[in-house]
Amino acid sequence: MAERSAKAHRTVSRVTDILEAVAAAQPGGLRLHDLAVSLDAPKSSVFGLVKGLVATGYLVEEESRYLLGPALGQLLTVERPSLVDAARPALESLRNTFNETVTLATPVGESIVYVDSAESSQMIRYSPPARTRRPLYPPSPGKAVLSHWSRRRQEAYLKEIVTAEELPAALAELDEVRESGVAFNRGETLPDVSAAAAPIIVGGKVLGVISVAGPSSRMSDRLDEIAAAVKEAAATTALRV
């Protein structure tokens, strides 16, 4: 086939223009109005694209300003050395203590992505897919992330996941997770798998989440003990980042 020259696509160009404008404005980011002015585009059309980029983690919104998000680094590179290296000793220590699979997940937009793990040596074990987007609810790492969102953002996300009748209980659970520093999953994602997770918080932000997961038959009686160890491991890791 004869080679064809590349042609610009309006939507693709608008998205890249948004990312480049935000990158140029780092570290302070840009407000929606400033983005629209910078792109000479209607605020309404920019708004939809910006919200899509926030949902997929390419932008983050902080105090009505948009900054570059974690997806640019966490999904487009092989690893994130600072966080992965800092968490690795904790992952291995937890695995050696409980002999269940220990994972490190990072928030990417409205998803979590497992970026490292120390797997159990037992024949039957939890083995999550790496570098694949997972929902924030009901996985325990996702609950740990959601617990640090604003109430309005929690409600907007959960309304797409749970029923109106289930929403109050889900919100109450997130309040408990934030207060205790530990999130649980008791067979909500997979019927026979239980997990405990704790966020790695640096500068008031959740950079990642450490979790221990395994068959409920082995995990259930030790879940509180595991939760305490995971919480300590996350706190220790935060000091290393």
Per-residue pLDDT at 69: 85
- Contact between 220 and 191 (Cβ < 8 Å): no
Cα distance between residue 21 and residue 29, in whole Å: 9
Q: Give the rounded distance of the alpha carbon of 145 from its chain centre.
A: 6
Mean pLDDT value of segment 86-90: 96
C-alpha distances out from residue 173 to 30, 53, 146, 204, Å: 33, 28, 10, 20
Per-residue pLDDT at 71: 80
pLDDT one-digit tens code per residue, 111-135: 999 999 999 999 999 998 888 889 9
Q: In sequence order, what are the beta bridge partners of 101?
A: 213
Cα distance between residue 138 and residue 134, in whole Å: 10
| 10-69 and 81-240 in the same fold | no
Cα distance between residue 174 and residue 73, in whole Å: 28
Q: Which residue has the higher pLDDT, 15 or 235?
A: 235
Mean pLDDT value of segment 72-98: 81
Unique residue bearing structure tokens 């221990």: 212
Q: In sequence order, what are the beta bridge partners of 212?
A: 102, 196
Unique residue bearing structure tokens 């939809």: 48
| pLDDT of 84 higher than 80 | yes
| pLDDT of 233 higher than 60 | yes
Residue 128 DSSP symbol: P
Per-residue pLDDT at 8: 63
| pLDDT of 194 higher than 90 | yes
Span 81-240 CATH architecture: 2-Layer Sandwich (3.30)
| pLDDT of 171 higher than 70 | yes
Per-residue pLDDT at 93: 98
Per-residue pLDDT at 133: 86
pTM of the model: 0.73
Comparing CA positions, the residue from 33, 41, 35 lying closest to residue 20 is: 35
Cα distance between residue 124 and residue 227, in whole Å: 21
Write the class of the CATH domain 10-69.
Answer: mainly alpha
Confidence of residue 49 (pLDDT cuts 50, 70, 90): very high
Mean pLDDT value of segment 177-194: 96
* Residue boundaries of the structural domains of the chain: 10-69, 81-240
Task: Report percent pLDDT > 90 for the chain.
Answer: 64
| pLDDT of 79 higher than 80 | no
| pLDDT of 230 higher than 70 | yes
Confidence of residue 74 (pLDDT cuts 50, 70, 90): low
Mean pLDDT value of segment 20-43: 86
Per-residue pLDDT at 95: 98
Residue 111's φ and ψ, nearest 5 degrees, are: -145, 170
